[in-house]
Amino acid sequence: MHTFEEKKFNIPELKGISKKNIEEHLKLYAGYVKHANLIQEHITELSKDSEKYAYELGEINRRFGFEFCGMRNHEYYFSALESGAKNLSDKSELKKAIEKEWGSFDGWLARFKAVALTRGIGWAILSKDTETGRLLTHWVDEQHLGHLVSTTPVLALDMWEHSFVADYQPSGKKKYVEDFFANLNWEVIESNFAKAQ
């Protein structure tokens, strides 16, 4: 049976976000990988008698989206913090696409940061619609509710409290968002954009 592999990330010292918080956060990521695999195992097992286990199968099939998206969201998040902060080049295709969609990079950034401050737990996402090539900025509740069909994430910002409360306190959400962008390796985001087909 195929299993999902836990990825390893080489995250340097970050502005504002402590090493300890990243370590703890990576353990939560590992939990999503483990549970995405476990659910697949359970589905295989219960499917041997799908009539008897119809209710259980229904529940864990629903649950799979939560675990799988939790795994992938965190991979986008942590990989974007690898190798130190790097700016988005003015010549980059991603920058041009952002300017085309929202008029200016700063206009988009303000909009994305506002999405990140949505009340509740979830993710602020920049994704590319592979049907039209357009970029979209949107909110995902929990890990999975609000991912848009036919889009591929390009940038994912974790807005669950576990990602910032230890360093910033609940009231420091805004500062965490600022620091996330100060730490961001835009070369990774650019590469995500290029790969999103």
Name the residues that contact Fe ion, by CB under 5 A: 158, 160, 163
Q: Give the three-class secondary structure for 154.
A: strand
Chain centroid to CA 177: 14
Q: Which residue is nearest to Fe ion (CB)?
A: 158
- In the complex, the smallest distance separating the C-beta of residue 158 from Fe ion, rounded to whole angstroms, is 4
Based on DSSP, count helices (H) and strands (E) in the chain, helices before strands: 7, 3
Q: How far is the CB of 70 from Fe ion (least distance, A)?
A: 8
Tokens of 69: 């998206």
Nearer to Fe ion, 31 or 53 (CB): 31
In this complex, which beta carbon is closest to Fe ion, that of residue 151 or of residue 163?
163
Select 55 or 120, whichever has its Cβ closest to Fe ion: 120
CA pair distance 30, 39, nearest whole angstrom: 14
CB of 159 to Fe ion, least distance (A): 9
Q: Which is nearer to Fe ion, 79 or 163 (CB)?
A: 163
Q: How far is CA 23 from the centre of its chain?
A: 17
Instruction: Tell the smallest beta-carbon distance from residue 123 to Fe ion (Å).
Output: 9
Return the closest-CA partner of residue 143 out of 128, 126, 158: 158
